[in-house]
Copies of this chain bind each other. A is one copy, B any other.
Amino acid sequence: MSKQNEEKKILRKIDPLIEQLFKGKRRGCARLISYIEDYGPEVAKVIVEKVFPKTGNAYIIGVTGAPGSGKSTLTNQIAKRYLKAGKKVSVICVDPTSPFSGGAILGDRIRMKESFRKKDLFIRSMANRGKLGGLAHITKDVLQVLDAFGSDIILLETVGVGQSEIDVFKSAHTTLVVVNPGTGDDIQAIKAGIMEITDIFVVNKMDLPLADKKVRDIEAMLELSDTIEIDNDRHAVKVVSSLEWKPPVVKTNARDGENIELLLKKIEVHRVNQKKTALDRKKQIYRYKHYVLDILKGYLSRNIEDLIFSHPEIDQIIEKIIEKQKDANPYSISNEILKKFVHRL
């Protein structure tokens, strides 16, 4: 009851915040993101529905890689270049795991903030507060807010390359995977599942020995990997080494800013290529399918849970399992509940 009241109170506050957001006020943007993170899908729904008509301008660049690969430094460098070019840039860091490096990143970013017009840069850290299944969903909602905020570029940085990160990157237009010279493991990691989301490979710390070898290794791997056709109806729409796009491998030194311009050019090539091949449309459908799927899965899970734990008839139905009535077992009873209550979902 008090939770519902709180929700109502929040809903009344949303309109003025959205007005602020549309005017480019950072505080409105920050508050709306907090609401999405803190108050769950009902509040998120209201916010997304209101901001959605203003979305569609932002270009979303994903950056991922192992801890220590330099992806935060790289993200900062990319952000600086776009800021210099007069773009409005937002940065979201998803799931910073180590509090130590988190602090270091933050210090770095504060320095970055000071050297540019404050209003053109918005930085947000999203902790993975145990919302394993929900993180990709929340991130997608937050991306809508940042898009409606007027961001030209959204940099989406995550730590690690688990399934939840892969889901996050299904929202990106161009995804960079950062690796380092001399480490053999990451090629295996790349093979394991990251191929699906990679548009550009970045061999960062190019000043280290064996940088060229790492480039060749990745290129060889790309040669070997199957040329998967675009399958729009299924999960493999983002494809490595398709006829339409073969991920380039770019060497950088993010610390010194070396080759960042080159990387930006490759991102632009990727963007233009997607337009030319109409891949951007296919990817847009793919992105929204996953977004809609996240919303529906979350909605159905909550509803079925509410039903099981609050509908008065459920106890009686469950008792049939306990009493071992003929053909009553957890699966048959699940089926019975579904048939009886599906109209309530």
Residues of A within 8 A of B (CB): 45, 48-49, 52-53, 56, 130, 132-133, 140, 144, 163, 232-235, 281, 284-285, 288-289, 291-293, 295-297, 299-301, 304-305, 308-310, 314-315, 318-319, 321-322, 324, 329-334, 337-338, 342-343, 345
Contact = CB atoms under 8 A, between A and B. Distances in A.
A275 to B, nearest CB: 14
A331 B45 CA distance: 6
B338 A288 contact: no
A260 to B, nearest CB: 32
Given A52-B330, A132-B133, 20 more contacts: A49-B329, A49-B332, A52-B329, A232-B315, A234-B310, A235-B309, A284-B322, A285-B319, A288-B321, A289-B318, A292-B334, A293-B305, A296-B304, A296-B334, A296-B337, A296-B338, A297-B301, A299-B334, A300-B300, A300-B301
Copies in the complex: 2
B300 A304 contact: yes
Given A52-B329, A285-B315, A309-B234, A334 B295 contact: yes
A128 to B, nearest CB: 12
A300 B342 CA distance: 10
A233 B310 contact: yes
Contacts of A293: 304-305, 308
B299 A301 contact: no
Nearest to A47: B331
A52 B288 CA distance: 41
Given A299-B338, A300-B301, A334-B299, A56 B324 contact: yes
12 contacts: A49-B331, A53-B329, A133-B133, A140-B330, A288-B330, A289-B309, A291-B330, A293-B308, A296-B334, A296-B338, A300-B345, A342-B343
Given A300-B304, A337-B296, A318 B285 contact: yes
A322 to B, nearest CB: 5
Nearest to A334: B295
A342 B48 CA distance: 23
Contacts of A132: 132-133, 163
A319 B337 CA distance: 34
Contacts of A291: 330
8 closest A-B pairs by beta carbon, nearest first, are A52-B329, A295-B334, A300-B300, A45-B331, A291-B330, A292-B334, A293-B308, A296-B304
Nearest to A237: B309
A63 to B, nearest CB: 23
A172 to B, nearest CB: 16
A318 B288 contact: yes
Given A285-B319, A345-B342, A292 B52 contact: no
A284 B56 CA distance: 51
Contacts of A337: 292, 296
A320 B310 CA distance: 36
A322 B130 contact: no
A288 B322 contact: yes
A326 to B, nearest CB: 9
A322 B56 CA distance: 9
